[in-house]
């Protein structure tokens, strides 16, 4: 089963994924109409900045066992086994924030949502774009990510590739494989800027 894999070293912090995510979870599914909706659609992926100003797309890991699922008082959080997705039922959610207390990644937010009863704030988090996947589409954040920081692939093959990259980087004369020259340069610039500000 394909999963969204995050490669933080490739994130440039453009936040396109946030926009795409919010649009994919709106009523009208189009950016130009979504911005006029009530409640205003909000992203479920959150791009923040690391210590050196590098981007980091923070999204639900769909943990197993999921701490939020164990902590949910009314039993609104469940797992779709077919896609290994942890989802929140907005009708059952009582907005108690127990899941926010349990989530070690801080990815659950509380607000009104197109899928929730009108006027009701509920716990909202990534649902792996289940609705899009049913139509044969990839998750919205992956579709718009142009830097390759978000990919949709088999976890086993992603892991295998990573293992090979690490293995190659430790072999004597390989010297590691750069992701792409651009990223290394960008991250180096950000790092030195921060260092200069500190001085």
Partner 1 sequence: MKYVIIGNGVAGIHAAEAIRHLDAEGRLTLIGDETFPPYCRPMISMVLEGATPPERLPIRSTDFYRRLGITPILGRRVSGIDVEARVVRLPGLEDGIPFDRLLIASGADPRPITADGLHLAHIFYMRTERHIREMLDAIPTVKTALVLGGGLVGFKAAYGLLRRGIRVTQLIRSAYPLSMQVDRTAGEMILNELVRKGLDVRVGLSAAAFHGNGRVEGARLSDGSEIACDMVVIGKGVLPALSFVPRDRIDVDLGVLVNAHMETSVPGIYAAGDAAEFVDIARKTRWVNAIWPEAAAQGRAAGMNMAGRPVALKGSLSRNVIRIFDMDVMTGGWVDPPESAGFEILSRHDRRRKTYRKLVLDGRRLVGMAMVNDIAQGGLLISLIQNEVPLRISGNALLSSGFNYRQLLN
Residues near partner 1 (CB under 8 A): 8, 48-52, 54, 56, 58, 67, 70-71, 73-75, 92, 94-106, 108-110
Q: Measured from the CB of residue 114, what is the shortest distance to partner 1 in angstroms?
A: 20
149 Cβ contact list (under 8 Å, min separation 6)? 6, 7, 8, 9, 10, 11, 12, 55, 57
* Residue bearing tokens 């774009």: 129
Q: Measured from the CB of residue 70, what is the shortest distance to partner 1 in angstroms?
A: 5
Q: Measured from the CB of residue 131, what is the shortest distance to partner 1 in angstroms?
A: 24
Which residue number, 99 or 133, has a Cβ lying nearer to partner 1? 99
Q: Measured from the CB of residue 58, what is the shortest distance to partner 1 in angstroms?
A: 5
- Reference 72, options 55, 88, 50, 48; nearest CA is 88
Ramachandran angles phi, psi of 171, nearest 5°: -70, 150
167 Cβ contact list (under 8 Å, min separation 6)? none
Which residue number, 91 or 165, has a Cβ lying nearer to partner 1? 91
Other CB atoms closer than 10 Å to residue 176's CB: what's the count?
11
Which residue number, 73 or 180, has a Cβ lying nearer to partner 1? 73
Which residue number, 49 or 189, has a Cβ lying nearer to partner 1? 49
């Amino acid at each position: 089963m394909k999963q969204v894999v995050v490669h933080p070293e490739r994130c440039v912090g453009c936040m396109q994924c946030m926009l795409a995510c919010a649009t994919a979870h709106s009523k009208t599914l189009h950016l130009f109409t979504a911005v006029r909706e009530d409640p205003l659609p909000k992203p479920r992926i959150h791009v923040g900045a690391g210590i050196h100003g590098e981007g980091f797309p923070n999204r639900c890991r769909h943990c197993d066992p999921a701490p939020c699922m164990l902590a949910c008082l009314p039993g609104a959080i469940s797992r779709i086994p077919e896609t290994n997705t942890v989802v929140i039922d907005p009708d059952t959610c009582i907005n108690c924030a127990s899941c926010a207390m349990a989530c070690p990644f801080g990815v659950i937010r509380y607000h009104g949502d197109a899928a929730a009863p009108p006027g009701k704030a509920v716990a909202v988090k990534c649902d792996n774009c289940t609705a899009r996947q049913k139509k044969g589409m990839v998750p919205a954040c992956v579709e718009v990510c142009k830097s390759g920081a978000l990919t949709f692939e088999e976890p086993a093959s992603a892991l295998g590739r990573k293992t090979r990259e690490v293995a190659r980087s430790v072999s004597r004369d390989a010297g590691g494989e750069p992701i792409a020259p651009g990223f290394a340069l960008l991250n180096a610039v950000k790092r030195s800027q921060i260092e200069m500000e500190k001085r």
